[in-house]
C-alpha cells in the first residue's frame, strides 16, 4: 500500500502526490485514458513525429499548434490572434501571470471555490487576492458592486470551473467582458477544462472585439493522454503582450517542438474519431459508472450545473458523518486516492468544503472500474462499521 498523506496535508497537490503511487488513483484531473485504445495510430508514428519536430522551425510549430487547437475548439478568434506564448504546463502560465501581476501591483479577484494551486502560485508571487464567490458570476450587479467595493484591478475566472462544473455561458461572458471594459478591469481566464463545455464559446473573438485587456490560459493535459507531456497556450491582449512576453522569455526559450508535434497528432486523431463528441462519450460513460457505483452508499454526486460535462466529479459526503479529511484518510487505507473538498475553498477552507470530496474520471481504461469498485467497497464497509458501532452503543445504553 502507498504511503498515506499526512492527515493535516494543507494542499490539494499533496493529496495528488499520494495519488501518483496509490493503486486506485481518483485524485488528479489529468488524462490517463489509454492512448493505445484511443490513439494507437499516433504511437506508431512517434519516430516520424520526431523527424517532423526536428525539421520544423519553432515559430512555425508554435503557430501550427495554436491553429490546430483553435480549429479543434472552433475558435476563429484565437486563430486570428497573434499575441501568445506556449508554456510546458498551465501552472507555468499561472506563475507568469502572477509575476506580471506583482510587477504591476495588481489586486486580483479570484473565483472560489477552485483548485487551490491557482491561489498558491499567485500568493507565492505576493499578489494581493480577494475571493470572489462563484455565485457572483451569475449576477452582474453583485459582481460590479464587489469589483468596486474591493477596488479590484483584475478578475480571474475559471470556466468551466473545477471542481463544481459551473459554466459562464456566452451571453454572461459577453456581459462580464463589457463590464470589465467599462470598469477598466483586466480579465484573466483559465479555460483548462474548455473541452468540457457542452456549448462552444469563443472568448477570444469577444475579448478582441470589445477591446478588453485580457489573459487566457489553456491546457492540453486535461484531455489528451500524453503522459504529462503537455502544452499551455498563454494568450494576451496586445496592450499586455510586451510585458508578459518579457517575463516568459526570462524563463523559457520555447516549449518542446516534439511535445507540440505529438499533441497536434493527438488533436488530429481525435478529430478523425469525432472530435469533442468522441471525448464527451468517454466522459459520459465514466460518469455513469460513478453514479452506478455510488448507488446504495452514503455518498452522491453533487451536480447542480448541467452546462458542462466535467471530467471531475464533486461528491456530497454529508451522510457519511465524516469530514472530507476524515473520509479521504479512511479511503487511503484502501489505497484509494481522492481530493478533500475544503482546499478548493482556498480562502475559507477552515469553514467550507468539509462535506465534499472530488474524484477524476479520465483514468486508465483498464483501472477505472476497479477503482470505483474499490471506492464502493470502502464506502459500504464504512457504513457497516458505523451501523455496528451504533448498535453496540444502543445495547450499552
Same domain, 248 and 308: no
Q: Is the pLDDT of residue 14 over 90?
A: no
Residue 1 included in any domain: no
pLDDT of residue 13: 86
Q: Is the pLDDT of residue 387 over 90?
A: no
Average pLDDT (102-122) is 98
Count of other CB atoms within 10 angstroms of residue 58: 15
pLDDT of residue 17: 87
Is the Cβ–Cβ distance between 264 and 68 less than 8 Å? yes
Select from 272, 287, 303 the last residue of a domain: 272
Q: How far apart are CA 237 and CA 360, in angstroms?
A: 33
pLDDT of residue 11: 84
Closest CA to 377 of 29, 31, 23, 98: 23
Average pLDDT (150-167) is 97
Q: How far is CA 248 from CA 92, 94, 254, 285, 387, in A?
A: 9, 11, 9, 39, 57
Bin 156: left if φ > 0, else alpha if -120 < ψ < 50, else beta: beta
Is the Cβ–Cβ distance between 245 and 53 less than 8 Å? no
pLDDT of residue 18: 86
Total number of domains constituting the chain: 2
Is the Cβ–Cβ distance between 363 and 281 less than 8 Å? no
pLDDT of residue 139: 96
Output the domain CATH number for residue 313: 3.90.1150.10
Same domain, 17 and 89: no
Same domain, 59 and 196: yes
Q: Is the pLDDT of residue 305 over 90?
A: no
Count of other CB atoms within 10 angstroms of residue 292: 12
Residue 150 C-alpha cell reads as: 474591493
Same domain, 69 and 211: yes
pLDDT of residue 263: 98
pLDDT of residue 388: 43
For residue 346, give its domain range: 12-29+274-396
pLDDT of residue 3: 52
Select from 251, 272, 293 the last residue of a domain: 272
Residue 4 included in any domain: no
pLDDT of residue 248: 98
Same domain, 190 and 109: yes
Average pLDDT (308-315) is 93
Residue 197 included in any domain: yes
Q: Which tens digits make up the pLDDT trace of 182-194?
A: 999 999 999 999 9
Same domain, 192 and 255: yes
Select from 223, 247, 272 the last residue of a domain: 272
pLDDT of residue 9: 58
Residue 190 included in any domain: yes
Output the domain CATH number for residue 118: 3.40.640.10
Q: What is the 3-state secondary structure (H, E, C) of the chain?
A: CCCCCCCCCCCHHHHHHHHHHCCEECCCCCCCCCHHHHHHHHHHCHHHHHHHHHHCCHHHHHHHHHHHHHHHCCCHHHHHCCCEEEECCHHHHHHHHHHHHHHCCCEEEEEECCCHHHHHHHHHCCCEEEEEEHHHHHCHHHHHHHHHHCCCCEEEEECCCCCCCCCCCHHHHHHHHHHHHHHCCEEEEECCCHHHECCCCCHHHHHHHHCCCEEEECCCCCCCCCCCCCCEEEEECHHHHHHHHHHHHHHCCCCCHHHHHHHHHHHHHHHHCCCHHHHHHHHHHHHHHHHHHHCCCCCEECCCCCCECCCEEEEECHHHCCCHHHHHHHHHCCCEECEECHHHCCCCCCCCCCCEEEEECCCCHHHHHHHHHHHHHHHHHHHHHHHHHHHHHHHHC
- For the ranges 15-19, 59-63, 72-76, 168-172, the lowest mean pLDDT is seen at 15-19
Average pLDDT (297-311) is 84
* Averaged pLDDT score across all residues of the chain: 93
Confidence of residue 15 (pLDDT cuts 50, 70, 90): confident
Q: How far is CA 154 from CA 62, 132, 146, 210, 363, in A?
A: 28, 11, 12, 16, 35
Average pLDDT (208-226) is 97
Average pLDDT (51-55) is 98
Q: Is the pLDDT of residue 162 over 60?
A: yes
Same domain, 265 and 134: yes
Q: How far apart are CA 305 and CA 163, in angstroms?
A: 11
Phi then psi dihedrals of residue 24, to 5 deg: -120, 80
Amino acid at each position: 500500500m502507498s504511503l498515506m498523506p499526512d492527515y493535516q496535508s494543507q494542499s490539494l497537490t499533496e493529496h495528488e502526490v499520494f495519488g501518483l503511487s496509490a493503486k486506485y488513483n481518483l485524485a488528479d484531473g489529468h488524462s490517463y485514458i489509454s492512448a493505445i485504445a484511443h490513439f494507437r495510430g499516433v504511437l506508431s508514428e512517434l519516430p516520424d513525429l520526431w523527424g517532423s519536430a526536428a525539421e520544423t522551425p519553432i515559430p512555425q510549430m508554435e503557430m501550427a499548434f495554436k491553429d490546430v487547437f483553435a480549429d479543434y475548439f472552433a475558435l476563429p478568434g484565437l486563430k486570428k490572434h497573434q499575441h501568445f506564448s506556449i508554456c510546458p504546463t498551465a501552472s507555468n502560465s499561472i506563475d507568469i501571470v502572477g509575476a506580471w501581476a506583482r510587477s504591476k501591483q495588481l489586486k486580483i479577484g479570484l473565483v472560489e471555490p477552485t483548485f487551490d494551486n491557482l491561489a498558491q502560485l499567485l500568493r507565492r508571487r505576493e499578489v494581493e487576492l480577494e475571493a470572489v464567490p462563484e455565485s457572483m458570476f451569475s449576477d452582474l450587479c453583485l459582481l460590479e458592486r464587489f469589483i468596486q467595493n474591493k477596488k479590484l484591478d483584475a478578475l480571474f475566472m475559471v470556466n468551466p470551473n473545477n471542481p463544481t462544473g459551473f459554466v459562464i455561458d456566452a451571453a454572461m461572458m459577453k456581459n462580464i467582458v463589457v463590464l470589465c471594459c467599462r470598469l477598466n478591469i483586466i480579465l484573466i481566464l483559465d479555460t483548462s477544462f474548455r473541452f468540457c463545455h457542452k456549448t462552444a464559446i469563443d472568448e477570444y473573438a469577444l475579448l478582441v472585439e470589445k477591446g478588453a485587456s485580457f489573459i487566457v490560459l489553456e491546457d492540453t493535459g486535461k484531455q489528451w493522454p500524453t503522459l504529462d507531456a503537455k502544452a499551455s497556450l498563454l494568450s494576451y491582449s496586445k496592450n499586455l503582450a510586451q510585458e508578459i512576453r518579457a517575463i516568459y522569455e526570462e524563463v523559457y526559450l520555447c516549449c518542446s517542438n516534439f511535445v507540440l508535434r505529438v499533441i497536434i497528432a493527438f488533436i488530429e486523431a481525435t478529430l478523425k474519431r469525432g472530435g469533442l463528441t468522441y471525448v464527451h462519450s468517454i466522459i459520459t460513460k465514466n460518469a455513469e459508472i460513478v453514479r452506478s457505483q455510488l448507488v446504495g452508499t452514503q455518498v452522491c454526486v453533487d451536480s447542480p450545473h448541467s452546462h458542462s460535462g466535467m471530467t471531475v466529479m464533486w461528491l456530497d459526503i454529508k451522510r457519511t458523518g465524516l469530514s472530507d479529511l476524515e473520509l479521504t484518510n479512511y479511503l487511503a487505507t484502501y489505497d484509494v486516492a481522492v481530493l478533500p473538498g475544503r482546499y478548493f475553498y482556498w480562502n475559507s477552507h477552515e469553514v467550507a468544503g468539509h462535506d465534499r470530496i472530488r474524484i477524476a474520471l479520465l483514468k486508465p481504461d483498464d483501472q477505472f472500474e476497479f477503482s470505483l469498485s474499490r471506492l464502493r467497497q470502502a464506502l459500504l464497509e464504512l457504513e457497516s462499521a458505523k451501523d455496528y458501532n451504533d448498535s453496540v452503543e444502543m445495547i450499552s445504553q
